[in-house]
Amino acid sequence: MGGEEFWTYFWVILTFGTYIGIALWARAGSTDDFYVAGHDVHPTVNGMATAADWMSAASFLSMAGLIAFMGYGGSVYLMGWTGGYVLLALLLAPFLREFGKFTVPDFVGDRYYSTTARLIAVVCALFVSFTYIAGQMKGVGVAFSGFLGVEFNTGIMVGMAIVFVYAVLGGMKGVTYTQVAQYVVLIFAYTVPAIFISLIVTGNPVPQLGFISNVKGEDISMLEKLNTVVTDLGFLEYTQTDKSMFDVFAITGALMFGTAGLPHVIIRFFTVSSAGAARVSAGWALVFIALLYTTAPAVASLARLNFIDTVNESTYIASDADYDTEAAAIVAEGGKPIPKWFKDWEKIGLLEVTDKNGDGVVQYRAGADNEVTKLDRDIIVTANPSIAGLPAWVIGLVVAGGLAAALSTAAGLLMVISSSVSHDLCRRTFFKGMTDQQELLTARGAAAGAVILAGIMGMNTAKLGFVAQVVAFAFGLAAASLFPVIVLGIFWKRMNREGAIASMLTGLITTFWYIYHFKFVDTDSSHWWLGVSPEGIGFVFMFLSLAVGVVVALVTAPPPQDIQDLVEDIRVPGTRTPHGIADAEMLPE
C-alpha cells in the first residue's frame, strides 16, 4: 500500500469510525430526540452542526471547482449561498423557532389551518430535499470513487451504507453531534491544503491574502497571472463572465431566497431551547461558514493555475503499469509527463484525453485542438493537493473532508424526508392515533427508504450537471414554493390558506417544469426565458408565486382571528411556549 493510499484509508476509517460511534452514543430514544435532538443543543454546538449541515458537497467539492473554471461567473454560488444564510438567520429563523414546530410542513399546516396546505408543503419539501440529496450523493460518489479506485456508482453505494447507519439509528440527536465532528474534519481538510498551496505559489500562508498577493518571485499578482495564462490559451479572462448580468442576478437570488426556504437548514433552529438561542446559534454558524467560504476563491484560482501548469503540453502515458518508467524517461529528455493524479482520475472516468492530432502531447486550450475532452469540475478540490504535490497525509485528509461535507448534509436532508413522511403525513394527517414508538419506527423506515432512493438519484445526476448545479435546482424550487408562504406567513397576518395553497402550487409547478424542460427537452440556451438559466429561474417564479398568493388571499376570506393573533405572537420573543402550540385535531380544509 502506497503512502497516499495508506493515509486516505487512515483518515477515512478514523473519521467514519468516529461518526458511527457518536451515532450509537447519541441514539434517539424518542420522537423528540429523533426530530429535534430534545430541544437542548447548546447554541455554539448547534452553530457548528448547522455549518456542517449547510456546507454540503456543493460547498466543499463543487463550488471551488466551478469558480476555478467559470471564474467570475462561478461567484454566483459564493454570493448566493453566503447571502442566503444571512437572510435566513436574520429574517426567518428566530420567528420559526418561536412558533416551535418540528418541520416546515408543520408550520404551514398550523399557520394556514389546513391539511391540504400541509400536504402540499410536504410535497414541496420532498421535491426540494430529494433534488438536493441527489447532488450530495453525486459528491459521495466522486469522493469515494477517487478514494477506493472504484466506479462512480459503487462509490455512491458505499456512501449510502455509511449514512444509513448514523442517520437511521441516531436521528437528529445523532446527526447533530455527528455533524459537529464532520465540521471539524471538513474545515481542517479544506484549509490545510489551501495554506500549503498559498505558501507554495505566493509565499503567503493566509489563503484569503494569497489570493490577492503577488506570485512568489514575480512582480505580478496571482489573479493577473491567471488572467494572462487563461487568455493565452484562448479561454475567457478569469475575472470576466459570459453570463448575462440578469442571469447572474437571478441565480444569486434563487440561491439566496432558496436558502431561506430550505427545510433541512430551518429544522436545525428547532434543536435549541428558545428563539434567543436560535439567534445566537445562527451567529455562530455564520462564523463557522465564513471560514470555508472566504477560502474558496483562493482554492479555486490556485487550483486553476496549478492544473494548467501541470497538464497543458504534457506527454501522455497510456500504460498504468509502466507509468513510472515512462515518466522518468520523459523527464530525462527534458519533457513533462502527464501527472499521475490525472491518470488516477482518468481511470474512473472523470477525466478524459483524446489525442486528436496524434502527437502524444496533451493540450488544454480553447477550440478544436483541446485534447482534454472531459473534465469533471467536481474533482478539483479532491485532486488539488495531488496537483500541487502536497504530502500524502494531506491528500487523504481532503478525501475525508469531502465525504464529511457530503454526508453531513445528506443526513440533514434525510431527517427532513423522514419527518415529513412519519410526522406530517402519518401522525398529523392519516394515522393520528400513532404512538411515539410507532412514529419513531415509521421515521426510521422512511429514512432508510430515502437513503436508497437518494442513492439511485445520485447515480443518475450526469444529465443534470455538476454537484453545485444540481443543488442550485433544489434552491430554486425552495425559493419559488416554500419561501413565499413562510415569509408571508410570518409578516402578513392577512395571508390565508387559499393564498398559501395557490402560491406553493404556482412556484413548484412552474419551476419544476422549467428545469425539466430546459435540462432534458430543449437544451438550447438561446431559448431560455429572459435569458435566465434553469439554475436561476426559481428567483423569477418566486415573485410570481408571491403575487399569486397575495392576490388569492385578498379575494378570499381572511384567516380566523386566532390565527391572526398567532402571527402577532410569534413576532414577539418570549410570548410563546418553548415547544410551540399544541397539536391540533384534524385541520379543516
Report pLDDT digits (tens) over 243-254: 888 999 999 999
Residues 125, 203: one domain?
Answer: yes
- CB of 464 within 8 A of CB of 519? yes
Residues 86, 150: one domain?
Answer: yes
Residues 134, 205: one domain?
Answer: yes
Residues 262, 215: one domain?
Answer: yes
Q: Is 112 exposed, middle or buried (0-12, 13-18, 19+ CB in 10 A)?
A: buried
Residues 333, 451: one domain?
Answer: no
Report the C-alpha gap between 127 and 131 in whole angstroms. 6
Residue 279 lies in a domain: yes
Residue 586 lies in a domain: no
pLDDT in tens, 392-407: 788 778 877 877 777 7
**Cβ within 8 Å of residue 305, ≥6 positions away:** 201, 222, 225, 226, 229
**Cβ within 8 Å of residue 225, ≥6 positions away:** 215, 218, 305
Q: Is 358 exposed, middle or buried (0-12, 13-18, 19+ CB in 10 A)?
A: exposed
493-497-499 Cα angle (round to 5): 80
pLDDT in tens, 467-503: 555 677 778 888 999 999 999 999 999 999 999 999 9
Residues 27, 152: one domain?
Answer: yes
Report the C-alpha gap between 66 and 378 in whole angstroms. 8
Distance of CA 14 to the CA centre of its chain: 24
| Across 340-348, average pLDDT | 82
Query: How many domains in the chain?
Result: 2
Does 487 or 176 have the greater pLDDT score?
A: 487
Residues 296, 317: one domain?
Answer: no
CATH number at residue 257: 1.20.1730.10
Listed residue (174, 172, 177) closest to 268, CA to CA: 172
Residue 555 lies in a domain: no
Residue 62 lies in a domain: yes
Residues 79, 152: one domain?
Answer: yes
Report the C-alpha gap between 66 and 454 in whole angstroms. 23
Return the amino acid letter for 171: G
pLDDT in tens, 263-310: 677 777 777 777 677 778 888 888 898 888 889 899 899 889 888 888
Residue 451 lies in a domain: yes
Alpha-helical (H) ranges within 203-244 are 207-210, 222-232
Report the C-alpha gap between 127 and 290 in whole angstroms. 28
Lowest mean per-residue pLDDT among 106-110, 337-341, 402-406? 402-406
C-alpha cell at 520: 432534458
Residues 70, 206: one domain?
Answer: yes
Element (H, E) at 237: none
pLDDT at 39 (0 to 100): 60
pLDDT in tens, 346-373: 877 778 888 877 788 888 888 755 677 7
Question: How many residues are there in the chain?
Answer: 589
Q: For the chain, give the percent of residues with pLDDT over 90.
A: 15
Residue 271 carries which DSSP code? S
Q: For residue 482, which phi and psi values (nearest 5 degrees)?
A: -100, -40
Residue 504, CA atoms < 13 Å, CB-side half-sphere: 29
Residues 169, 256: one domain?
Answer: yes
Residue 457 lies in a domain: yes
What's the whole-model pTM score? 0.77
pLDDT in tens, 425-484: 777 777 777 777 777 778 778 877 877 887 777 776 554 455 555 677 778 888 999 999
Does 38 or 124 have the greater pLDDT score?
A: 124
Residue 588 lies in a domain: no
Residues 486, 350: one domain?
Answer: no
Residue 226 lies in a domain: yes
Range of the domain at 332: 313-362
Report the C-alpha gap between 186 and 266 in whole angstroms. 22
Report the C-alpha gap between 207 and 15 in whole angstroms. 25
Residues 16, 102: one domain?
Answer: yes
